[in-house]
Structure formats: structure tokens, C-alpha cells
Chain A
Amino acid sequence: MLFNTFHFMYFFVIVFALYWASSFRFQNLLILCAGYYFYACWDPRFLALLILSTAMDYGCGIAVDRIEEPRRRKLFLILSMALNLGMLGYFKYFNFFAESLQSLLDRSGVHVSIDRLNVALPIGISFYTFQSMSYVIDVYRREIKPTRNLIQFAAFVSFFPHLVAGPIMRPTTLLPQIERPRTFDLHQFYQGVYLIFWGLVKKVVVADNLAPIVNDLFGRSATIDGGSALLAVYAFAFQIYCDFSGYTDTARGIAKCLGFELALNFNLPYFATSPRDFWARWHISLSTWLRDYVYISLGGNRGGKAKLYRNLMLTMVIGGLWHGAAWTFVLWGFYQGLILIGHRVLEPYLARIRPTDSIDRGAWKLARIVATFHLVCFGWLIFRAESTTQLSNMIHAIVDRPAIPAAATLLPIAICIIPILIIQMIQYITRDMIFIFRAPWYARSVFYAACFYAFVLGGEFGGGRFIYFQF
């Protein structure tokens, strides 16, 4: 059930009406039932996995809290992690590792046939396993007390707005909201409706219109000129941003309508001034998760520079692999690790550049934004490439065949990207993501009407799935 379908609209209208007509206890039960129904609409068979993960982590959370003996506590933590990572490994990575091993053996001249699994990837498994796992880890670290209420915990894991594509909510922020009664706040509701609307515009108008252009250009990677290849990369950068941030905006909007606040997952990532800044702005819930549960667990920045670089690289490679079971994602993670390390190395030298003049300061900031954007774009090229051949074709096109792209390619991409860029520039300058809420009512009216007609006349209603669903 996609957010951009009438099926979801009916579902949400019914849930919304029942939710605010119910008492607190029933509200949580309703969230749970709605979450399970929402998930079952994708594939009811995989609902069992969600229930299993929930039940196991609920039990492990209580056990880890009650038991004082460190070894036994750790045992339950390992049990939870083994279950969650085992599920993830089995469904998401088994075939990838089997194929890689097969290829390695073939190249070594060892002819052994490794069986593959014929299973579909359960939607959202990477999101809910990470969320559920972080609960047990937080209890283990004594950062939170476990909840005794199974309904509340299950509602936390299966909260439908963010169940299949995030943001990955931490138990410290979402569980308390589930545990306390919610009251209907009209202002929060308005903000929620605005976020749903804006998220859908980003998805249906920008991302889904850019998708066929990007697919076409990447599909012709062997023959296109450098200008078109570069355009394809820029277009993909905005496609993936609008697709994913559109989803999370809609998810946050839906949550707001139900009285919840989900974490801000994107904070103008293409205005980042360094790779480090980019990861503080892009998929914030994943990057903070990786920081808190992988990077810090590996030792973080303790133990000297070599260990810091190793930990950074490992974290980013794991982050890359989280995105998908393919070598291009591993390569993308490696590249991200590389630019983060490169930035760490150059940081002391960059810090010495301190322009005093305001124009110089602005120019220096702009230069850093442009440079970071291009570093990120190169990462997107790796991320989007279906194979290393396609990746190499695109790089060759950019380097060897520079050309000004045809107006027929440039114009539709510019029409999609420029309005979103202008809005983001205003958000960046005003330092306010919902600046439109503070605009005069007539300006808001015109903006909403423009978005409405962009949605109606420019929207792609082919039921395009969100890119991050595959992760």
C-alpha cells in the first residue's frame, strides 16, 4: 500500500477517524492493528517476521533489564541481534554472498554449485530490524527502561507511517510518545497535512518525473555524451532526494496527524559544506543509528587516527551494504568512507581558510557546497549504476565526451529541479524548513495552489514505488 494511492487514502481516513474517536488504550491497539494491516497489504506472509522480531525483542528487552549477571545479559543481547541480523542476512544477503562466493570459486577453478534462495525481500526489513534491535541495545546500555506493555512495544515497532522506509525511530524518542496519551492539536494537524502534501508533491511531481529520464540516460550510458551523463547524475541526485525525503515528509505528516513527532530525516543535504556535514543532513536517522550502534561500538575516535579511519570506513561500508546487497553499494559505502577520511585529513588545512570579507565568506561557503555536492553526486553515480560496466561507461562519457546537453534533455530536468532548488534555498537562508507556515496567508494560498496544480498536471500517477522500499 503506497502513500500515493487511493487505497492508502481510504485506509488513513478510516484510521484517523477511529483513532481520534478512541480512548488512549484503544488508540495504541488501533496503531498496532493498522500497522499489521498496512504491512500485510504488501505480503501477508512476511507479517510473521515482523511479529517474531517484535516478540523476541520484547522478551529480550525485559530479560536484559531483569538479569544482573553481565554474561547472561549479553547472551540475550546477542540472541536479539542474532535473530534480527539473521533475518536480515537470510532474506537480504544470502544470495549476494552465495553469488559472490560462487564467482570467487569459479575464478579459482573450483567448481562447486552453491544453491540460491528463491525468496522475496520482505519490505522494510532493514528498517524495522534496526529499530527493534536498537531497543534491546539501549536497554542493555541502561539508557532506557524496557516497556512492559507488549501492545505499546508492538505499536512502536509496527508504527505504519515509518514502518517500511523509515525514518528509523529510536526507542528513546518514539516509545515515550506511544506510552503517553495524545491529544488532538489543530496546529500539529495543519503541519501534518502540509507535510503529507509537500511530500507527495516531491515524490509524484519531481521524483517520478525524473525517474524515466534517469532510466533512459543510464540505459544509454554507452553512447550518450558527457553533458547528458552529467545531467543524468544530477537528475538522479534530485530523484533519490525527492523520492526518499518525499516519503519521510509524508510519513512525518501522517504521524503528526496522529499526534506523533517523527525525527527530521533530511535537512537540506545538498547544502552541506563537507562530506561530514552531508551525513549530518542526509538520512539522519540511519547515520545517527550507524554512529551510535556501529561507529561508537567499534571504538569511535578513540585509539588514534588509524583506528578512527578504520572505524569510519567500516561504518560506511556497513552503511553501503545496508542499502542493498550488491557490490556497487559496497563500493558506494567505501567511497563515502574515503571522502569522510579525506575530509578528516584535510580539515585542519581547510579550517585555516577564514575569509574576513562577507562576500569572500559567501563565495568560500558556496565553493564548499558546490564541491561537496559534486563529491556526493559521484557517490550517486556509483549508487545508481546497475553494474561496474555502466559505471565505467558513465565516467568515460563525462570525461571523454564532454558536450553541452541537448535542450530536449536539459529542459524537463531543469523544470523538475529548479523549483525545488529555489524552495530549498529559501529554507536554507531562513534556516526554517517550514518557512511557508510563517508567510502571509495569501502567499501560502498561492503556494499551495501552485503545488496542487503541479501535482495534478505534472504528477506521474503510475504508482511508482519509493526507491528506499528495496532497502
Chain B
Amino acid sequence: MSERTGSRRAWPAGFLGMIVIVAAVEYSIARRSVDFVETSRSSWSLSGDAARTARDREIVCLGDSLIKHGLLPRVLAERTGMSTINLSVCAAQPPVAYYILKRLIDNGGEPRIAIVDFKPDLLAGGLRNSSSYWPEFATVREAIELAWTGRDARFLAETIVAGSLPSVRNRHEIAASIRAALAGKTDPLRSVNLALWRNWKVNQGAEFTPKNPGFDGRIGEADINKYMTKNFWCDKINRKYIERFLDLADRRGIRVVWLLPPISPGLQKLRGELGSDRTHGEFVRSFQKKHRGLIVFDARKSRYDSSMFLDPVHLDGEGGYALSCDVASMLNQIVESGSIAGAEPHWIDLPEFRPRPLDPRIENVEQSKIAVRDSTAESLRR
């Protein structure tokens, strides 16, 4: 058996041909992102893109899924009179909030208030914790900056490769879609994405969800492993980016409200008993020493009933509505008292939860699913 030398070519035509084929396939995948992007990752690209165009918003909500489920821009806007957008993303760590705020400012945005949260269990992890999400969001420059700050060359390579090739970042979803097609089934990702994207649009970035009958408030071992850190801990890259975020806001005169959202009573009790709640509070206070204008809204002791939650940490639509109302009224008080422009630190405990009648104009995810189904059927009829 030989490895005969072939004709000598100056140009690797086969390789170049491959590049063309791959480029065509990647383009086609990128155009069909609704079929392949995993739902929680799509929130990264939606918020990342919206940050470039939402320059007219006065209140911007940033952070992770607790804010996404917990703050409704429509409620905040109507009750404060300030235009609002929710640009939080699922599983976001502090660098995401920083880059979204930066993009907003770089594109001419001048928000007055930024409401932000940083979920404790996400603060404990480094960059790698969300490495599958970054390619949906980060520009090359941001990826370099992040990798440099985290001293993580692998992160840079992974983010740039997956960021440039949609097939790489959506590989599991594409493979699942192929498997489903081979089995003669339809992958449900498309319909779920369409519904969530619609909900994102009508709720301006928030995710408004109906009740989850499957959650009864009990905290199991799996929940503890998923949501609890026995000792509160913040990775150094997250600390650096919280600093950068607050510095940027300070420089631009944006008042930051650090929201500590409510979690289900069972989990809150466990956190209290373990002491991680106290250390988390001390961690937040440590930033107030340097950033005197930082306001903290603490809803951890607001006694939200477990029926207001989708799962141990995320509020459902009703809970989110109540929290939005309370946050809006607190913002109004601050604005009216004039301390919005002041430089005094504030730690404000949000009032106890009280149920409020839901605004029927707010569309929940189930309603979005029906609307999408109807519009698809309508377009098929046409």
C-alpha cells in the first residue's frame, strides 16, 4: 500500500472548495437560527442585538433569568413614566451586564437607571460556566477582552470558533434535529423559539410565564445542588466585571439599582440557615463602600409565597408582576425624593408581597405559543 505523491499543486483547490461549501452551509444555518438555537441561548443574542438599538430607554433591566422573569418593562414604564427595556439574559454573569450596558452607551443610549441582579450561584463560576452562551453574544473584541481578563486562551478559541460557525455553536440542536427528522418526527425547537421570541418582543425582553402546577414549593436534593452554594463565593472575573459595570455607570451618571430578587421560601430558609445569604449581603454592601450611589432593593424577605414561583428561584408571571409593581413604586419614591441624582448609598427592603390583579394586556408564554400557532396556520392558509 502506498502513499504516492500526487501532482503538485500550488493551490489547495479541494480545501478552498470545502471552504465555499462550509460557508454556504453556515450561511443557511445562520438564516434558520429559529430552528437550531437553544432557547436560553437565544436570549443572549436577542438582548445583545437589542442593546445596539434601545438607545431611547430610560430604565434598562440587566442581569440574569431572575430579572428576566421578575421585571416587566410595561409595568415599570407605566408606573414610573420612564421608558423601559429588559435586556437580562438567562445564566448571565456580570460580564454580560457590563457589555450590554457598554453597547447601549456606545450606540448613543443614555439610560438613567440600570436595574441589575447577579445570582449568587452564577457568581461562583468562572467564564467557562457560560462558555456555550458567549458565542451567541460576544464580538471578537469582547471575546479577546474577556479571555485576557480571565487569562483563558481556550475560552477565546472556543468563543471565536463557535461564534463564526453557527453549526459549531448549535451542534447539539442540529444533531437532534437530524435525529428527529430521521425518526420522522418534528423537532419542537422551532415552535418554542417562535413563541419565546414573540414573548420577548411583546414584553420588551421580559419572559412572562403562567403558573407551573408542577412546582409545589418543596426543595429537593437536585434543587439544592443546582441553586445553592454552601459558602457564597464570587469568582475574580465576576468581581472585576461588577466593578467595571459600576464604574461605567458612575462615569455616565447612571443610577444602579442592585436588585436582590425573592426566591422560594424553602430555598430562602436554607440559604439563611447556611449563612450564605448573609455573606452574599456583605458582598453586595462591599460595593456600596466604593460606589456611594449604588442602591440595593432587597426582596429576599418580602415573603413571596411559593405559589408565585415557577421553580425554586424563578418568579412566575404573577410573582413577576407583583415584584415589578413594588420596584416601580420604590423607584418613584427615590425619584420624587430627589435621591436619584444624589450620591448616598441606599439599602431598601422591598415591601411584603401582596397579590395584585394581573394586567390582562400582558401576554404570557402560553398565549404567545397560541398566537404563533395561529399565525403559522394563517400563513399556511394564505
Q: Do A and B bind each other?
A: yes
Report which A residues bind B (CB closer than 8 A): 5-7, 9-10, 186-187, 190-191, 193, 264, 267-268, 427-428, 431-434, 436-439, 441-449, 452-453, 456-458
Instruction: Please state if A434 and B17 are interface contacts (CB–CB under 8 Å).
Output: no
Task: Provide the bound-state CA to CA distance between A264 and B2, in Å.
Answer: 9
Query: A10-B153, A441-B13, A445-B18 are contacts. A264–B178 as well, Cβ < 8 Å?
Result: no
Chain A interface mostly: helix
Chain B interface mostly: helix
Give B85-121 as 1s and 0s: 1 = Cβ < 8 Å from A's Cβ atoms: 0000000000000000000000000000000000000
Which residue from A6, A431, A442 sits with its C-beta under 8 Å from B153? A6
Which residues from 1 to 37 on chain B have a C-beta closer than 8 Å to any C-beta of chain A?
1-10, 12-18, 20-22, 25
Instruction: Please state if B1 and A456 are interface contacts (CB–CB under 8 Å).
Output: no
B181 within 8 A of A: no
Instruction: Please state if B165 and A433 are interface contacts (CB–CB under 8 Å).
Output: no
B171 within 8 A of A: yes
Closest partner residue, chain A, to B153 (CB atom): A10
Residues of B within 8 A of A268 (CB): 1
Instruction: Please state if A187 and B9 are interface contacts (CB–CB under 8 Å).
Output: yes
Task: Provide the bound-state CA to CA distance between A383 and B382, in Å.
Answer: 64
B65 within 8 A of A: no
Which residues from 159 to 199 on chain B have a C-beta closer than 8 Å to any C-beta of chain A?
165, 167-168, 171, 174-175, 178
Instruction: Please state if B18 and A457 are interface contacts (CB–CB under 8 Å).
Output: no
B157 within 8 A of A: yes
Task: Provide the bound-state CA to CA distance between A105 and B18, in Å.
Answer: 64
Given A446-B17, A449-B17, 10 additional A-B pairs, CB 8 A: A10-B157, A432-B1, A434-B3, A434-B4, A444-B14, A445-B14, A445-B18, A449-B22, A453-B167, A458-B175
Report which B residues bind A (CB closer than 8 A): 1-10, 12-18, 20-22, 25, 153-154, 157-158, 165, 167-168, 171, 174-175, 178
Instruction: Please state if A445 and B175 are interface contacts (CB–CB under 8 Å).
Output: no
Most chain B CB within 10 A, of A436, A437, A445, is at A445
Closest partner residue, chain A, to B158 (CB atom): A6
Query: A433-B2, A453-B25, A456-B167 are contacts. A187–B8 as well, Cβ < 8 Å?
Result: yes
Residues of A within 8 A of B5 (CB): 187
Query: A433-B1, A437-B6, A456-B168 are contacts. A446–B174 as well, Cβ < 8 Å?
Result: no
Residues of A within 8 A of B20 (CB): 445
Which residue from A190, A439, A441, A457 sits with its C-beta under 8 Å from B174? A457
Instruction: Please state if B17 and A445 are interface contacts (CB–CB under 8 Å).
Output: yes
Task: Provide the bound-state CA to CA distance between A191 and B3, in Å.
Answer: 10
Instruction: Please state if B18 and A452 are interface contacts (CB–CB under 8 Å).
Output: yes
Task: Provide the bound-state CA to CA distance between A444 and B13, in Å.
Answer: 8
Task: Provide the bound-state CA to CA distance between A443 and B17, in Å.
Answer: 9
Query: A6-B157, A444-B13 are contacts. A456–B6 as well, Cβ < 8 Å?
Result: no
Task: Provide the bound-state CA to CA distance between A193 and B154, in Å.
Answer: 21
Closest partner residue, chain B, to A448 (CB atom): B18
Which residue from A10, A431, A457 sits with its C-beta under 8 Å from B175? A457
What's the least CB distance linking A416 to chain B, in Å? 14
Most chain B CB within 10 A, of A267, A444, A447, is at A444
Task: Provide the bound-state CA to CA distance between A431 and B1, in Å.
Answer: 5
What's the least CB distance linking A15 to chain B, in Å? 15
Task: Provide the bound-state CA to CA distance between A191 and B12, in Å.
Answer: 10
Residues of A within 8 A of B7 (CB): 438
Residues of A within 8 A of B154 (CB): 5-7
Which residue from B2, B8, B12, B13 sits with its C-beta under 8 Å from A432? B2
Residues of B within 8 A of A427 (CB): 1
What's the least CB distance linking B10 to chain A, in Å? 7
Instruction: Please state if A456 and B3 are interface contacts (CB–CB under 8 Å).
Output: no
Residues of B within 8 A of A10 (CB): 153, 157
Closest partner residue, chain A, to B13 (CB atom): A441
Instruction: Please state if B10 and A186 are interface contacts (CB–CB under 8 Å).
Output: yes
Query: A431-B1, A448-B18, A452-B18 are contacts. A438–B168 as well, Cβ < 8 Å?
Result: no
Which residue from A432, A442, A445 sits with its C-beta under 8 Å from B4? A432
